[in-house]
Chains A and B, each alone.
Chain A
Amino acid sequence: MAGITGKDAALTAYANALANEAPKGRSLTQDALRRLFNNKAALVSIFVLIAIVLFALVGPYLLPWTYDKVDWSAIRKPPDWAKGHYFGTDQNGRDMLARTLQGTQMSLLVAAVATVVSVVIGILYGAIAGYFGGKIDAVMMRFVDIMYALPYILFVIILVVIFGRSPVLLFVGIGCLEWLTMARIVRGQTLSIKQREFIEAAKAGGAGPFTIIFRHIVPNLTGPVVIYATLTVPEIILTESFLSYLGLGVQEPQTSLGTLISDGAPVAEALPWLLFTPAAILVVMLLCLSYLGDGLRDALDPKDR
């Protein structure tokens, strides 16, 4: 080759060494996680959430009382450390701490189930509508519009009639309603991703539509999907509380945070511990989730700040 390489063969190695310090790649996800862990509020939220989840799962085994056991000697009693009612008992003499932990478990379970269901359906539906576009998109998205227009509570009541006895199935059903927003978000993202040149490159490389959707589009949806999912979890927890408040949610003797709060609220003046424990957990969880969602948004889209 004419030109520059002449005299400095000996120095080229040095120049190369300068040019390549880091052979190991950092993926976008790793980058985002690094940014997330640098965000103190988000980091604290993650630890608090993990602590709540662990405690909700392990805690019941460490307590002297189970959530449905009635202590006839302690009805409507404030916290009593000697008997092991650390957070008091309710009107039926059941241990509040045990009930709160069970309620947290239940709330987390339904939230997780409904979120996963809504995310899966939303991604598939939105990505397919967005990628194929045209008439397919028009029909699929009009269906979403119609679903939006129908009253939510009507569906819930129908679902309660169908799944009345099983809160988990009920929330699978609620997940099946919650995907609408997800689908819209995913469709919008897909529309912009499919304009990017790497999609065209994949087509030129012979990839079919579904290869493109699953290999090239869906992985690039991580950002909005994760953010939206962290916002869906609190929404479902609140939905559950609302339904329980209406008496459509979890059945006795099982309980959930929403049920506990709705039971505790009317008697909060006389028996504050009935309201305080579940409310505190719910508030802490919602706060942590929304801090986490904020943190994720900043971490995944650093340019948008």
Chain B
Amino acid sequence: MLDRTEDLLKIENLSKNFSISAGLFARPFQLRALQDINFTVKRGETLGIVGESGCGKSTLGRCILQLLAPDEGRVLWLGQDITKLPAEEMRQKRRDLQIIFQDPLASLNPRMTVGEIIADPLRTLMPEVNAKERRERVLRTMEAVGLLPEMINRYPHEFSGGQAQRIGIARALISEPKLIVCDEPVSALDVSIQAQILNLLSDLKDEFGLTLIFISHNLSVVRHVSDRILVLYLGRIVELADGDDLYDDPKHPYTRALLTAVPIPDPKRARQRTIEGLVGEIPSPINQPSGCTFRTRCRYAEERCAQVRPPLEVIAGGRNVACIRWQELDLKPGA
């Protein structure tokens, strides 16, 4: 039985900036991709991360896996900070931490066969496994993700998006990881295939006792797979709550705006509801607004929102919200 209370992963004060070159002699811009991120991931749960493009959700996934080095803060994996591990030790940790990518075909090396692609992490992470056993494990994993064994010698370009994504999932699974970061794993897929992959992920999660971090811009999908959901806006957490709580009773105006904007595949309900359009578009992450970064688009913004940066408060039900007005506002859908 999994201990679902154990903190598998803890992110503390994580920040990441990118320098954008402004030419040879100009000072580079600082693009603040992530600022002061704090959250934990419990063993066996699925944590959804949602946000619009440029909110830093993919950067966050990569910082967790140390594919990008965070500028500040710690990433605690089972209590150990992995941000400053020497290369060899980090490599050992990679067995436990894997990733699935958005574009299934781009994430597969076109010059390698399916078998080679899936076996690749084994070759580098567990060189002690011999060729015969490696092949057996590849075949076992292929079966688990719904690929036929005779596909082992084919090349990625011979597969459709859905099958290619299964190959990517098999590669992530082969080292028997504990945590998989799924970065928009179904966004590039056709609807009917999306559902297959979502079901596959949930089956694999049960079968292998995985913990998932599921990054997506699609709230319907995130809602479907996640136990808890974290909402990012301009590199900051604005809200973190259990899936149902978040959807039934959002506390942050941005969460509500996102929820009302999601297209609903139900004509009557779609016609009835009023879309609470957000004013304008996301500000540039180089030039962020003062105070609450969402205030420029928030219909509930007041003067003080420009002065105070709202802290991420812990409120009832183990939720987090970063809005100074959350107590005054009733943001329930339909309200």
Contacts and interface: CB of A to CB of B under 8 A. Distances in A.
A204 B65 contact: yes
Nearest to B157: A28
25 contacts: A16-B148, A20-B148, A24-B154, A25-B154, A28-B110, A28-B157, A196-B106, A200-B99, A200-B107, A201-B108, A204-B67, A204-B97, A204-B98, A204-B121, A204-B172, A205-B94, A205-B120, A205-B124, A205-B125, A205-B175, A206-B91, A206-B125, A219-B112, A220-B109, A222-B111
Interface of A: 16, 20, 22-29, 31, 196-198, 200-208, 211, 215-216, 219-220, 222
A205 B171 contact: yes
Contacts of B175: 205
Interface string B85-121: 0010001001101110111001111111110000011
A71 B182 CA distance: 80
B24 to A, nearest CB: 11
B158 A216 contact: no
Interface of B: 62, 65, 67, 87, 91, 94-95, 97-99, 101-103, 106-114, 120-121, 124-125, 148, 150-151, 153-155, 157-158, 168, 171-172, 175
Given A200-B99, A204-B99, A205-B94, A25 B113 contact: yes
Given A23-B151, A207-B120, A215-B120, 4 more contacts: A25-B158, A27-B111, A28-B111, A205-B171
B65 A197 contact: no
Contacts, number: 90
A206 B150 contact: no
7 tightest A-B CB contacts, nearest first: A25-B154, A205-B121, A197-B107, A23-B150, A219-B111, A197-B101, A206-B94
Nearest to B183: A197
Contacts of A28: 110-111, 155, 157
Contacts of B91: 206
Contacts of A23: 150-151, 153-154
B82 to A, nearest CB: 13
Contacts of A219: 109, 111-112
A206 B91 CA distance: 5
Contacts of B171: 201, 205
A197 B156 CA distance: 14
